[in-house]
Amino acid sequence: MAKNNFPVISYLLNFNFSGKNCILCRIILFCLIVNFYHAISFAQDIHFSQFYASPLTLNPAETGNYQGDWRLMNNFRTQWKAIGIPFRTVSLGYDHQFFFSNERFSAGAIVINDQSGDEKLMVNKFFVSGGYGKTFGTNDFHFGIQGGYILKNYNTSKMTFPNQFDVTKGEFDKTLPNNEKSLGDQTSFMDFNSGIAWTGIVGKFQPKVGFALFHLSKPGESFLKKNTRLSLRSVFHIGGKIDLDEKYFLMPNLFFMNNSKANDLLLGANLGMKLKENTPKIKSVFAGPLFRGGVGRNSDALIFIFGVNFLQLDAGLSYDINISTLRSSTRNRGALEFSIIFTNMSTRVTKVTTPCDRY
């Protein structure tokens, strides 16, 4: 028998699932294994520096993966203003939890608009997602799937082509026909994603680990008749919270994304402080750095984050300081980003007590 190089998978396969939920447990296990083996097989999209504050773009398994009835999230990012027309990304998402016979389901939707460059390359994404969560002791597993429609277009009015070069003037004339019959200014396609996530308790640490796969159908995205397909993109992320004492806590974060030969790594932590009861109802504040780079490439940015938890609202502000070879042109100026998540408190009754008089 060949040596097993994946002891975690071996452990899960030999785990004794029993009881009425055994079939469901095996379904979850199957999804885990499928996602894992896709990750080790051959596999850059819109993303945020505050990746943990955009759960529906981070991992479909984050749909409904929180404590509360429903959640509303909004993210805004503007980048490269120092070297021209800035790149801008805006997203708005919503998800909701549903319980049927003590089974936890969830559904969500997100809209993303991304605009970049002088040619006004516009990308609009519309995704819906579904999730299912199951708890075993102190371990909570969540699985999610996501599907949607992507529309891309750009403005050709500011572009010039070889056929528009006027030899009599020695310059390009945009009023001349470009004769690019194989080039379109719009394309659209369907896309599908999936992911898994685990949350547990390790001493004072409450880790959350997730893995997701994007572009499962490898859709074509080219503006040309000769179609170019998106390659599989994998995302691995770790977050959580460590209570240092009754007042201070630490939130480490790691994000790694791989897409064909491109990759992106973010690593850092936020230090938080719980506040005593106050009039503005601010529960806590946090701040910290993130580093963005990659495997086999230069450092990209240092990111500084500040956030606040107000009632059921989490708000974050971050700025990317460019440290790449482009810094001479940007003068270290990178991206400004805002994030807001509002989580409605849970109204689900988890413990029922019957009051009675004692005699």
Q: Model confidence at 255, in pLDDT bands (50, 70, 90)?
A: very high
Q: What tens digit of pLDDT does each residue of 55-77 get? A: 999 999 999 999 899 999 999 99
Token pair listed for 79: 């980048």
Average pLDDT across the chain, whole number = 80
Q: Is residue 317 over pLDDT 60?
A: yes
Rounded to two decimals, the pTM is: 0.77
Q: Is residue 124 over pLDDT 70?
A: yes
Q: Is residue 325 over pLDDT 80?
A: no
Q: Please name the residues in contact with 282: beta carbons below 8 A apart, sequence gap of 6 or more.
A: 275, 308, 309, 310
How many Cβ atoms sit within 10 Å of the Cβ of residue 196? 22
Q: Is residue 8 over pLDDT 50?
A: no
Q: Please name the residues in contact with 222: beta carbons below 8 A apart, sequence gap of 6 or more.
A: 187, 228
> Among 53, 60, 38, which residue's Cα sits nearest to residue 234?
38
Among 83-87, 114-118, 320-324, the range with the most confident prediction by mean pLDDT is 320-324
> Among 331, 314, 313, which residue's Cα sits nearest to residue 322?
331
Q: What tens digit of pLDDT does each residue of 170-197 get? A: 777 767 766 665 555 778 899 999 999 9
Token pair listed for 17: 């699932």
Q: Give pLDDT, residue 41.
A: 35
Q: Please name the residues in contact with 247: beta carbons below 8 A apart, sequence gap of 6 or more.
A: 273, 274
Q: Model confidence at 21, in pLDDT bands (50, 70, 90)?
A: very low
Range 216-221 average pLDDT: 85
* CATH number of the domain located at residue range(s) 19-343 in this protein: 2.40.160.40
Q: Give pLDDT, residue 338.
A: 96
Q: Is residue 110 over pLDDT 50?
A: yes
Percent of the chain exceeding pLDDT 90 equals: 47
Q: Give pLDDT, residue 43.
A: 33
Could you tell me if residue 120 is left (phi over 0), alpha (psi between -120 and 50 degrees) or otherwise beta? left
3-state secondary structure of 295: coil
Report CA 231 to chain centroid distance, whole Å.
17
Q: Give pLDDT, residue 96.
A: 96
Q: Give pLDDT, residue 347.
A: 77
Say which residue, 322 or 29, is predicted with more confidence.
Answer: 322
Give CA–CA dist 343/96, Å, rounded: 10
> Among 136, 127, 132, which residue's Cα sits nearest to residue 144?
132
Say which residue, 120 or 336, is predicted with more confidence.
Answer: 336
Q: Give pLDDT, residue 4.
A: 40
Q: What tens digit of pLDDT does each residue of 274-302 get? A: 998 776 789 999 999 999 887 766 677 89
Q: Which residues pair with 121 in a beta bridge?
A: 116
Q: Model confidence at 134, in pLDDT bands (50, 70, 90)?
A: very high
Q: Is residue 240 over pLDDT 70?
A: yes
Q: Is residue 1 over pLDDT 60?
A: no
Let me know how long the chain is.
359
Q: Give pLDDT, residue 80.
A: 65
Q: Which residues pair with 131 in a beta bridge?
A: 106, 144
